A and B are shown apart, each in its own frame.
Chain A
């Protein structure tokens, strides 16, 4: 444990207080809050484009990953005035609006990490266009007994389906056991359209891979060994774990953008379980990988696309 309980850090000309740097957040790995701050600073240039201008929900672990956690949508009390916020009408009724913080620059990232906000959840739209998503989002969630190879095959099946209709997706590990697939969109389509489109693709994929996939929302009804194709995580206020966000799991894994060739390689692996594979990418190993290969969810991989022509193709090919 570090003796100093607070330290001032100057980031981009702003002085931030980092308290309790020595506090252990990942007890099985011995990683501390200082390690979390250091990680987010090390990957700031890559993670910030994925956080910028998106309403941010913090998943905080004040007592580490083994302790309690809570989701914080409203900007925390005492938010520095230089961190911008956006007010969104609340749907819960308890308050009239929720004021989300926006994490647009490195000092804000340090501020967030100091709150032991391990997991960063972002909206699928940006402040200028909150009513329209700027990517389609598929959450591939392996159910009990789903092998790594099956998960990878389903992801590749999804990619193939999308490419048939002219869409180019990107993929990342969720940081837990699954994969996230996204199709960057021009911010012009309503959430309803995005969701229906996602449903169309998911149903088509399910018809092709009925044994490997399920659309069953109820976990109890999901067949063993399948991948749950979650296309319903698309909607105003729904969130995704941001690329490069850390996760509150042993080994401190992060959500890591992948090259499709890496997913292809997974089909040849024998792992019965998926999360160990993705736990290779941690707050300790990720910065090096990023320095080497850059942001696989950034330029030139993140191609803004349109749905009109894709639907026309789908009607021709899939009907």
Chain B
């Protein structure tokens, strides 16, 4: 298992259970690097000042909050530390509720709480008690220096800490256009229910895969295998490149010459005319 995010404790009442906070979600996204099409050079981001155009190093960067167009309040690390809730590294349970009371939209991201050796007994006790009471704990927890609201849920052998959104983060439904509640026609309802019944089966998460990812991965593997040799990353000697370039250039020049030759005499005279005008203008402005 990877490193714990933090080591701390679950606290409620006078009970303290030492735990480690562990990641529960693996991000499966394929990671791509931005490359320069021409030579596969990695694209890197340059932090550049919009005023003097100079590159700016991290130690010269401060965070500013734009409170009015173009006007900033500058906050330094010390300021953030000041208002930061104490990095208690604890899950402080403030109440217990029934899971069904919580709108699932509030749930954001689950973490595992893994007990430390001396907390195993109390951990198991809390888990079983929650199951028996059919309750979950509502807790405050600090992760990466920010305080979150979270639910503590029994899940198999584990206690899962699921971060929750604060109420003001949820977009109000009234801001969007949904049909009003209405009593549907009985026959329509019957048909809809029948359709739902025929498609009903137990949920099996394993049955679903990220097809997009799989297909992308298959394509990448095929391409990687199809390459005769890995592309030379060491700088190619200038001279070899020059010789190749010359060959390519020779072809391009011959082609463009052919194209020029194919142009009618008429357009050639047009070009001469334009050139004459240009010279005239140069002379005029030089005078």
A299 to B53, CA, bound (A): 35
Stretch from A91-99, A152-160, A192-200 forming part of the interface with B = A192-200
Known: A45-B286, A188-B260, A206-B238. A196 touches B245 (CB 8 A): yes
User: Is B256 engaged at the interface, CB distance under 8 Å to the other chain?
Assistant: yes
Residue from A53, A188, A203 within 8 A of B241 (CB atoms): A203
How many residues on the A side are at the interface (Cβ–Cβ under 8 A)?
39
Nearest-neighbour CB distance to chain B for A178, whole angstroms, equals 15
Q: How many A-B residue pairs have CB under 8 A?
A: 83
In the complex, the answer to whether A315 meets B51 with C-beta atoms within 8 Å is no
Nearest-neighbour CB distance to chain B for A120, whole angstroms, equals 16
A245 to B274, CA, bound (A): 26
User: Is A298 engaged at the interface, CB distance under 8 Å to the other chain?
Assistant: yes
In the complex, the answer to whether A207 meets B253 with C-beta atoms within 8 Å is no
Q: Which residues of A contact B50 (CB under 8 A)?
A: 68
Known: A45-B286, A203-B238, A207-B242. A52 touches B281 (CB 8 A): yes
In the complex, the answer to whether A200 meets B256 with C-beta atoms within 8 Å is no
In the complex, the answer to whether B245 meets A203 with C-beta atoms within 8 Å is yes
User: Is A318 engaged at the interface, CB distance under 8 Å to the other chain?
Assistant: yes
In the complex, the answer to whether A207 meets B286 with C-beta atoms within 8 Å is no
User: Is B44 engaged at the interface, CB distance under 8 Å to the other chain?
Assistant: yes
Interface membership of chain B positions 61-85, coded 1 if the CB is closer than 8 angstroms to chain A and 0 otherwise = 0000000000000000000000000
In the complex, the answer to whether B285 meets A52 with C-beta atoms within 8 Å is yes
User: Is B252 engaged at the interface, CB distance under 8 Å to the other chain?
Assistant: yes
User: Is A275 engaged at the interface, CB distance under 8 Å to the other chain?
Assistant: no
User: Is A311 engaged at the interface, CB distance under 8 Å to the other chain?
Assistant: yes
User: Is B257 engaged at the interface, CB distance under 8 Å to the other chain?
Assistant: yes
In the complex, the answer to whether A190 meets B256 with C-beta atoms within 8 Å is yes
Q: Which residues of B contact A45 (CB under 8 A)?
A: 285-287
User: Is B243 engaged at the interface, CB distance under 8 Å to the other chain?
Assistant: yes
Residue in B closest to A52 when the chains form the complex, CB atoms: B281
A314 to B238, CA, bound (A): 14
In the complex, the answer to whether B239 meets A207 with C-beta atoms within 8 Å is yes
Known: A203-B241, A203-B245, A311-B246. A190 touches B252 (CB 8 A): yes
How many residues on the B side are at the interface (Cβ–Cβ under 8 A)?
32
In the complex, the answer to whether A318 meets B256 with C-beta atoms within 8 Å is no
In the complex, the answer to whether A319 meets B243 with C-beta atoms within 8 Å is yes
Q: Which residues of A contact B253 (CB under 8 A)?
A: 189, 193, 307-308, 311
Nearest-neighbour CB distance to chain A for B214, whole angstroms, equals 31
A298 to B46, CA, bound (A): 37
In the complex, the answer to whether A200 meets B242 with C-beta atoms within 8 Å is yes
A69 to B51, CA, bound (A): 6
Q: Which residues of A contact B51 (CB under 8 A)?
A: 66-69
Residue from B44, B238, B252, B282 within 8 A of A196 (CB atoms): B252
User: Is B250 engaged at the interface, CB distance under 8 Å to the other chain?
Assistant: yes
Nearest-neighbour CB distance to chain B for A236, whole angstroms, equals 15
Nearest-neighbour CB distance to chain A for B268, whole angstroms, equals 11
Q: Which residues of A contact B216 (CB under 8 A)?
A: none
User: Is A262 engaged at the interface, CB distance under 8 Å to the other chain?
Assistant: no
In the complex, the answer to whether A192 meets B274 with C-beta atoms within 8 Å is no
User: Is A265 engaged at the interface, CB distance under 8 Å to the other chain?
Assistant: no
Residue in B closest to A106 when the chains form the complex, CB atoms: B285
Known: A192-B252, A315-B250, A319-B243. A49 touches B238 (CB 8 A): no
Nearest-neighbour CB distance to chain A for B252, whole angstroms, equals 5
Nearest-neighbour CB distance to chain A for B246, whole angstroms, equals 5
A45 to B257, CA, bound (A): 36
A218 to B36, CA, bound (A): 11
User: Is B249 engaged at the interface, CB distance under 8 Å to the other chain?
Assistant: yes
Interface membership of chain B positions 248-265, coded 1 if the CB is closer than 8 angstroms to chain A and 0 otherwise = 111011001100100000
Q: Which residues of B contact A53 (CB under 8 A)?
A: 278
Residue from B53, B249, B274, B282 within 8 A of A193 (CB atoms): B249
Q: Which residues of A contact B238 (CB under 8 A)?
A: 203-204, 206-207, 215
A204 to B240, CA, bound (A): 10
Known: A193-B256, A200-B242, A203-B241. A128 touches B286 (CB 8 A): no
In the complex, the answer to whether B246 meets A220 with C-beta atoms within 8 Å is no
Residue in B closest to A312 when the chains form the complex, CB atoms: B250
Jot down 19 A-B pairs with beta carbons below 8 A, ordered by A. A45-B285, A49-B281, A49-B285, A52-B285, A69-B53, A128-B278, A188-B260, A200-B249, A203-B238, A204-B238, A207-B242, A215-B238, A218-B42, A295-B286, A299-B282, A307-B253, A311-B253, A314-B246, A315-B246
Please report A residues at the B interface, Cβ cutoff 8 Å: 45, 48-49, 52-53, 66-69, 126, 128, 188-190, 192-193, 196-197, 199-200, 203-204, 206-207, 215, 217-220, 295, 298-299, 307-308, 311, 314-315, 318-319
The 7 A-B residue pairs whose C-beta atoms are closest, nearest first, are: A207-B238, A203-B238, A200-B245, A48-B285, A203-B242, A193-B252, A196-B249
Task: Using A188-B256, A298-B286, A299-B282 as known contacts, list a sample of 18 further A-B pairs with CB atoms less than 8 Å apart, ordered by residue number in A.
Answer: A49-B285, A52-B285, A68-B51, A69-B51, A69-B53, A126-B278, A197-B249, A199-B241, A200-B246, A203-B241, A203-B242, A207-B237, A217-B36, A218-B44, A311-B250, A318-B242, A318-B246, A319-B246
